[in-house]
């Protein structure tokens, strides 16, 4: 058989050997021992890259296949030399993958070459090595997923390698790694990618919950006497009659979920939920997981009635567990239970015990993730007493009840206006009125039971938010997952938006009418005031009048009151008098409030309070002058007497100050008491320089 030849007549095997040699030369020239930063074209030798380009005689598939073969050969050699991929050997593989990325970006090799190499590498490694290698995909996600389009090309390779890797992982042991892969896929593909939206609305019916087959043993009989077992003692007396009085068929139904049957015609809506013992409730409780995993089972009337009975019995048991917790601890149960840091075991110190968990206790608190329920009968009572476990089950019930409420006639009526309906998620089953009422009532009961405290209310609000958003996704899926990403704007639209924005930012011309309208403008001008803010800022608008300015208006109002003959005129004159008086007294209180206590307390409508203010003020001034005169020397010359009789303006101001001080403290007699060192000295009246002041008192003759 003749060897395969390239278009230029060169043997394909020889070309592969030349490419392999060049690849090893390029890799040996790179001295990188870390994952970051990624290698680019400038990190490799330009001469060696040029030699690879020269070997490419034409852009045909044979050359690309030869390059793929050379890369895979180099990859297998690295896998053979390194037993496993870890933090030490990871950079060696990353250099080879970065080189394939550079050649793909330069369009020398195929666009899917890097993903083909990564897929081959994942298939040849163990789970720990794959987890370490996955860091490369996460760090180069922008370059690896460049040009990915759903349903073809690199997208198919990326989906295949991630799905194959997920099949190899355990959901219980490799939960974090599975989450990393799903997050990577969500970042790599658009949200409307049809390969990840489950258009047909299939449920995961393979998620089967397996639990123990419990056979209830009859009560033990010793010497003709029945002995109560522990489970029988825990049954409520009212409940025992309802449980044991149902007949042999009900006892057999409690032994296994396969034999549980509920009378479809039995009306249980008006009965109080019974609290079953652990053995009776165990198979009923775990059989609910079949309905949670496959909701269309409830379209059958018998299964729906059976689900109702099981859910009501479960909620009654949960309520009893919550009440027992409150009675025992005196407070509402907290998720994940209380911390236990005081427990000690022989041979184990407190520092060594759960050292890692205690260090990250803040992160663990509030988390209750279990990849799979533990269905052992021995753990059933402990699980029911756990608040986190009860919340998980009630949230499952909420999700299923929301699914049932989406099948009511009112909800289906809203879906008739869909343009491109997805018939796969539009079920023919319609929920009846009685079942709808039960579903709504049960949903309210579950929500109330989830919020016993502040943490419960926060948890319930989060669940409500998630369920509301889920309804939007359900409608989007019912509309056949129409794309909601908007195309980029055209250049013409961008230029138009720029012109409109520039026009909006221009400074507008001043408005013709300053006051807003022509009528307001003319009305304001008629008043004679300045128009606009300048008129409002006029200083004359902010000057306060003096109380004396109201003296004449009050007198005029009194004259009008004397001349008034009619009640309206009398009332108008009184209003004018009282208004001006009140304004004057209000202004006088700013600096003459100390003389208000000198007013006459007798009320008289005819008196003039403003005139009384001025009279009291004048009288106070005269008293102040008399006190000042008494404080002076008794014998003075004629010139000094004249000076005292006619005080100057500074003296009048001093008298006013002294008068205010004396009136503010009426209990002190300034004529006889001597001012202390802390009190201000009284104002002295200056005397002429020619008048001598006697040094000793002169008696009168």
- Per residue in 473-530, pLDDT tens? 888 888 888 877 778 889 999 999 999 999 999 888 877 887 788 888 888 777 766 6
Question: Which pLDDT score, from 0 to 100, does residue 99 have?
Answer: 86
Percent helix, percent strand, percent coil in the chain, to nearest 5: 60, 0, 40
pLDDT score of 676 more than 80: no
Same domain for 454 and 567: no
Domain count of the fold of the chain: 3
> What are the structure tokens assigned to 642, written together?
């004249």
Q: Which of 84-88, 611-615, 624-628, 697-701 is the least confident region?
A: 697-701
351 vs 211, more confident: 211
Label residue 686 by pLDDT band (50, 70, 90): very low
Query: Is residue 240 in a domain?
Result: no
Do 569 and 459 lie in a common domain? no
Q: Is there a single domain that holds both residue 471 and residue 551?
A: no
586 falls within a domain: yes
- Neighbouring CB atoms inside 10 A of 460's CB total 21
H helix or E strand, kind and range, residue 221: strand 221-222
SS3 assignment, position 311: helix
The reported pLDDT for the residue numbered 694 is 39
Neighbours of 352 (CB within 10 A): 8
Q: Which of 207-211, 274-278, 417-421, 440-444 has the highest mean pLDDT?
A: 440-444
**Dihedral angle of Cα 285, 289, 295, 301, to the nearest 10 degrees:** -30
Give yes or no: residues 440 and 553 share one domain.
Answer: no
Average pLDDT over residues 327-356: 50
Pairwise CA distance, residues 58 & 64, whole Å: 10
* 176 and 317, same domain (yes or no): no
Q: Are residues 138 and 26 in the same domain?
A: yes
Which of 168, 188, 208 lies at the terminal end of a domain, its last residue?
188
Q: Are residues 178 and 94 in the same domain?
A: yes
Q: Is residue 431 part of a domain?
A: yes
Element (H, E) at 226: strand 225-226
Pair (295, 409) in one structural domain: yes
Instruction: Please identify, among 158, 188, 218, the residue that sits at the C-terminal boundary of a domain.
Output: 188
Do 151 and 22 share a domain, yes or no?
yes
- Structural domain that includes position 581: 545-597+610-615
Give pTM, 2 decimals.
0.52
**Mean pLDDT to the nearest integer, 430-438:** 92
Q: Are residues 146 and 61 in the same domain?
A: yes
Residue 226 in any domain: the answer is: no
String of DSSP letters for 266-304 = ---TTSPPP---HHHHHHHHHHHHHHHH-GGGGGSHHHH
Asked if residue 71 belongs to a domain, the reply is: yes
Is residue 266, in this structure, part of any structural domain at all? no
Is residue 692 very low, low, confident or very high in pLDDT (cuts 50, 70, 90)? very low
Q: Cβ distance 122 to 133 under 8 Å? A: yes
**Cα first-last separation, the chain:** 166
Question: Cα 670 to the chain's mean position, in Å?
Answer: 72
Q: Is residue 23 part of a domain?
A: yes
In a domain, 646, yes or no: no
Together in a domain, 26 and 110: yes
Residues 289 and 434 in one domain: yes
């Amino acid at each position: 058989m003749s060897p395969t030849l390239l278009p230029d007549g060169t043997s394909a095997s020889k070309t592969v050997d030349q490419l392999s040699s060049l690849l090893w030369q390029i890799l040996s020239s790179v001295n990188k021992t870390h994952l970051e930063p990624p290698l680019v074209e400038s990190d490799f030798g330009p001469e060696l890259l040029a030699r690879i380009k020269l070997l490419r005689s034409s852009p045909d598939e044979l050359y690309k296949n030869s390059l793929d073969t050379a890369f895979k050969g180099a990859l297998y050699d690295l896998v053979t030399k390194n037993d496993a991929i870890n933090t030490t050997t990871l950079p060696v593989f990353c250099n080879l993958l970065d080189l394939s990325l550079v050649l793909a970006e330069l369009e020398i090799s195929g666009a899917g070459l890097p993903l083909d190499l990564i897929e081959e590498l994942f298939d040849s490694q163990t789970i720990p090595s794959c987890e370490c290698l996955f860091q490369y995909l996460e760090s180069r996600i922008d370059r690896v997923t460049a040009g990915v389009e759903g349903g073809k090309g690199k997208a198919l390779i990326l989906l295949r390698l991630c799905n194959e890797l997920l099949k190899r992982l355990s959901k219980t042991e490799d939960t974090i790694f599975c989450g990393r892969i799903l997050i990577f896929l969500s970042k790599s593909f658009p949200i409307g990618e049809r390969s990840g939206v489950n258009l047909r609305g299939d449920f995961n019916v393979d998620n089967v919950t397996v639990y123990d087959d419990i056979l209830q043993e009859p009560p033990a009989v010793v010497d003709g006497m029945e002995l109560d077992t522990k489970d029988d003692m825990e049954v409520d007396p009212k409940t025992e009659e309802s449980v044991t009085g149902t007949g042999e068929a009900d006892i057999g139904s409690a032994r296994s979920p396969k034999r549980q049957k509920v009378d479809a015609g039995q009306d249980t809506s008006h009965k109080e939920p019974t609290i079953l013992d652990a053995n009776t409730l165990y198979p009923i409780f775990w059989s609910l997981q079949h309905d949670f995993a496959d909701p269309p089972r409830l379209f059958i009337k018998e299964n729906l009635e059976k689900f109702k009975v099981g859910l009501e019995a479960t909620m009654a048991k949960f309520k009893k567990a919550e009440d027992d917790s409150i009675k025992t601890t005196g407070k509402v149960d907290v998720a994940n239970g209380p911390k236990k840091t005081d427990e000690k075991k022989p041979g184990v110190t407190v520092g060594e015990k759960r050292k890692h968990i205690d260090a990250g206790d803040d992160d663990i608190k509030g988390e209750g993730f279990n990849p799979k329920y533990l269905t052992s009968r021995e753990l059933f009572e402990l699980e029911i007493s756990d608040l986190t476990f009860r919340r998980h089950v009630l949230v499952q019930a909420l999700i299923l009840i929301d699914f049932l409420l989406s099948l009511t006639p009112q909800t289906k009526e809203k879906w008739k206006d869909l343009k491109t309906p997805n018939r796969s998620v539009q079920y023919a089953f319609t929920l009846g009125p009685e079942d709808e009422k039960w579903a709504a009532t049960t949903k309210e009961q579950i929500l109330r039971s989830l919020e016993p405290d502040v943490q419960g209310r926060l948890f319930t609000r989060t669940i409500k938010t998630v369920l509301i958003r889920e309804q939007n996704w359900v409608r989007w899926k019912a509309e056949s997952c129409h794309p909601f990403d908007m195309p980029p704007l055209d250049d013409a639209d961008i230029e138009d938006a720029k012109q409109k924005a520039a026009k909006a930012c221009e400074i507008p011309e001043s408005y013709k009418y300053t006051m807003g309208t022509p009528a307001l403008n003319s009305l304001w001008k008629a008043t004679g005031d300045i128009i606009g803010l300048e008129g409002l800022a006029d200083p004359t608008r902010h000057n306060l009048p003096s109380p004396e300015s109201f003296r004449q208006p009050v007198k005029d109002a009194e004259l009008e009151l004397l001349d008034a003959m009619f009640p309206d005129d009398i009332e108008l004159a009184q209003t004018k008098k009282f208004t001006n008086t009140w304004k004057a007294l209000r202004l006088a209180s700013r600096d003459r409030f100390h003389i208000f206590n000198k007013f006459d307390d007798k009320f008289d409508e005819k008196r003039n309070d403003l005139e009384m203010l001025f009279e009291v003020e004048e009288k106070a001034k005269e008293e102040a002058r008399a006190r000042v005169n008494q404080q002076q020397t008794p014998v003075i010359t004629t010139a000094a007497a004249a000076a005292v009789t006619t005080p100057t303006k500074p003296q009048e101001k001093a008298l006013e100050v002294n008068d205010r001080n004396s009136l503010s403290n009426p209990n002190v007699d300034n004529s006889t008491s001597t001012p202390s060192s802390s009190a201000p000295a009284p104002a002295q009246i200056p005397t002429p320089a020619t008048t001598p002041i006697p040094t000793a008192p002169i008696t009168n003759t």
